Amino acid sequence: MQQLGKQGFPVSKDVLREIIKSAGFRWIKARVVLTSHDPEYRQKLDRIKSILSQLKDDERFFSIDEFGPFAVKMQGGKKLVGPGEKPTVPQFQKSKGRLIVTAALELSRNQVTHFYSKAKNTIEMIKLAEVLLEKYKDCARIYLSWDAASWHVSDLLADTVRLHNEMVTARQSHLPLVVLAPLPASAQFLNVIESVFSGMAKAIIHNSNYQSVDHAKAAIDRYFQERNNYFREHPKKAGKTIWGQERIPCAFAEDQNCKDPNW
Q: Say if residues 90 and 56 touch (Cβ distance below 8 Å).
A: no
Q: Taking the C-alpha atoms of 88, 93, 97 and 99 in order, what is their torsion angle to the nearest 10 degrees? A: 50
Instruction: Return the pLDDT at 175.
Output: 95
Report the CATH number at residue 228.
3.30.420.10
Residue 25 counted as domain residue: no
Residue 165's φ and ψ, nearest 5 degrees, are -65, -35
Q: What digits encode the pLDDT tens for the residues 69-93?
A: 999 999 988 878 889 888 888 888 8
Closest CA to 207 of 67, 69, 66, 73: 73
- Residues of the domain holding 207: 41-233
- Chain-centroid distance of CA 78 in Å reads 21
Q: Is the pTM of this model over 0.95?
A: no
Residue 114 counted as domain residue: yes
Structurally, the chain folds into a number of domains equal to: 1
**Euclidean distance between CA atoms 122 and 22, whole angstroms:** 59
H-state helical runs in 86-192: 122-135, 155-169
Q: C-alpha angle 217/212/87, rounded to 5°?
A: 100
Residue 156 counted as domain residue: yes
Residue 176 counted as domain residue: yes
DSSP state of 100: E
161-168 long-range contacts, Cβ below 8 Å, gap at least 24? 161/129, 164/133
Task: Please enumerate in sequence order all residues whose Cβ is within 8 A of that of 47, keeping only pairs 6 or more positions apart, or say none.
Answer: 181
**Euclidean distance between CA atoms 174 and 133, whole angstroms:** 10
Radius of gyration of the chain, Cα coordinates, nearest whole angstrom? 25
Spell out the per-residue pLDDT of the chain, length 263, in tens: 677 667 777 778 888 788 888 888 888 887 766 667 888 888 888 898 889 889 999 999 999 999 989 999 999 888 788 898 888 888 888 999 999 999 999 999 999 999 999 999 999 999 999 999 999 999 999 999 998 888 888 999 999 999 999 999 999 999 999 999 988 887 777 788 988 998 899 889 998 999 999 999 999 999 999 999 999 998 887 754 333 445 555 555 655 666 665 55
Distances from the Cα of 138 to the Cα of 1, 62, 77, 142, 208, angstroms: 77, 16, 43, 10, 39
Residue 247 counted as domain residue: no
Q: Is 180 exposed, middle or buried (0-12, 13-18, 19+ CB in 10 A)?
A: middle
Q: What digits encode the pLDDT tens for the residues 32-56?
A: 666 678 888 888 888 988 898 899 9
Residue 255 counted as domain residue: no
Residue 78 counted as domain residue: yes
- Chain-centroid distance of CA 176 in Å reads 26
Instruction: Return the pLDDT at 257.
Output: 63
Read off the amino acid at residue 144.
Answer: L
Residue 49 counted as domain residue: yes
Inter-helix orientation angle 122-135/155-169, to 10°: 30
